[in-house]
Amino acid sequence: MSDAIERISLTIPRSLVEDLDTAVETWEYSSRSEASRDALRMFLANLDWQADLDSVHCGSITTIYRHGDHDINDEMLELQHDMDDVIIATQHVHLDSHLCLETIVVNGPGEEIKELVNSLRSLDGMEQVQFTNV
C-alpha cells in the first residue's frame, strides 16, 4: 500500500529553482517533485538519526581530506582506534596525489557515531564529512 500523494507549495529563491532544474536534468529525475521527494527523504533520514541518539544506528561516514596536511592520517588512525567499538570497517582511496577519500562503516549508539563524526569534522585538513544513516 503506497502513501497518498499530497500537493504542497514551496516558496524558494529563483536560484534554488534553477539548481533544482539542473539536478533534475543531470540526474534524470522524471520531475521536480521526484527530485524534491528524494532530497526530502535524505534530509529526514539525517534528521532522524540525530533526534534518536540513544538508539543503535548503522551506516557510513564518508570523508574527503588532503593527504599530508597537519598529520591528519595519524590523527584519523588514532581516532579510529579509539572508536573501534562502533567502527566495522574502513576503506581508503587516493583520488589524486593529494586528495583522499575514506569511508568508515559504523554500527552503534547514535551518540558515539555523532561523537566520531564531530571529531572527524574538527581535524585540520578535513574537507568534507558526511554520515549516511541506513
56-107 pLDDT per residue, tens: 999 999 999 988 767 898 999 999 999 999 999 999 999 998 899 999 999 9
- For residues 101-120, give the mean pLDDT: 96
1 Cβ contact partners less than 8 Å away, ≥ 6 residues apart? none
> What cell was used for 49?
538519526
- For residues 34-49, give the mean pLDDT: 87
CATH class given for the domain over 56-133: alpha beta
Q: Break the chain into its structural domains and give their ranges.
A: 14-51, 56-133
120 Cβ contact partners less than 8 Å away, ≥ 6 residues apart? 61, 63, 76, 79, 126, 129
The whole model's pTM is what? 0.74
